[in-house]
Amino acid sequence: QVQLQESGPGLVKPSETLSLTCTVSGGSISSYYWSWIRQPPGKGLEWIGYIYYSGSTNYNPSLKSRVTISVDTSKNQFSLKLSSVTAADTAVYYCAREGVRGVNAWGQGTLVTVSS
């Protein structure tokens, strides 16, 4: 059974770049789409974007100018970079596996707080 685990700083300063990595275990990253989804405290889910193992990406238009998702198949990892963060980017960030049957595997989520 595939498992996903987010890692990265829990505190980022305003205007800096948020960087998170998701490690996939129990299965190969060389299939499916690999997504980042976030949830501000007390609010709903927001899809950030996904990457296919080949490297093709698709992003939420509202975040596209600030988001980069990359994949390292040799490490079975994929990563998120979100630039020029503000307090509005404070959220629980989930990495997930997405396919034609929906998002069927999620990491536990990691809280990232944007504050000086």
Partner 1 sequence: SYELTQPPSVSVSPGQTARITCSGDALPKQYAYWYQQKPGQAPVLVIYKDSERPSGIPERFSGSSSGTTVTLTISGVQAEDEADYYCQSADSSGTYPSVFGTGTKVTVL
Interface pick for partner 1 out of 1, 41, 54, 101 (rule CB under 8 A): 101
Does residue 60 bind partner 1 (CB under 8 A)?
yes
Does residue 56 bind partner 1 (CB under 8 A)?
no
Q: Closer to partner 1 at the Cβ: 32 or 50? A: 50
CB 4 within 8 A of CB 109: no
CB 109 within 8 A of CB 103: no
Tell me which residues touch partner 1 (CB under 8 A): 35, 37, 44-47, 50, 58, 60-62, 94, 98, 100-104, 106-109
